[in-house]
A and B are shown apart, each in its own frame.
Chain A
């Protein structure tokens, strides 16, 4: 097991799990922050996984995730503005 795989595992367990817990509890506007954290941590974990598997063509996945996470979160902030709960 390479150091890259260990780092990817640590990022998924120590980074993604807290983000998903944050995204699953509390009011909607607070949960949105968990979604942002999950997007950022997921992007970093995917970059490390690409390096661990030595497949640079897979880097398109974290690239698309950054862009979709950005647009998606902005849409959520817009939709949640008039929503209570």
Chain B
């Protein structure tokens, strides 16, 4: 039963990650691509992390995976904001200087 749950979580996370990457490749707008990056860091990675934790049970491996997933989920939006702002500046959508 535990293996089945882990396999389902892993399958969902993998399919979402692959679909998000392919959709980002297909999308024309760089700002729309940022949304697919969020799917990867905030949904696919936690699903894969949950699969590993379910398969392994509580322990050091689970703690390491949890740390990686939390770091990915926290740093993803920061990187998206920085990249979005850089692209908006280069396309003249916002002022070049950072706000005071």
Contact = CB atoms under 8 A, between A and B. Distances in A.
Interface string A4-36: 100100110011101101100001011011001
A41 B17 contact: yes
B71 A10 contact: no
A29 B33 CA distance: 12
Interface of B, secondary structure class, is helix
Interface in A19-74: 19, 21-22, 27, 29-30, 32-33, 36-37, 40-41, 43-44, 47-48, 51, 56, 59-60, 62-63, 66-67, 69-70, 73-74
- Chain A, interface size: which category? 35 or more
Nearest to B62: A56
Contact of A11 (B14, B60, B83, B96): B14
A44 B48 contact: yes
A41 B33 CA distance: 14
B83 A77 contact: yes
B61 to A, nearest CB: 4
B34 to A, nearest CB: 7
Contact of A80 (B37, B55, B86): B86
B82 A47 contact: no
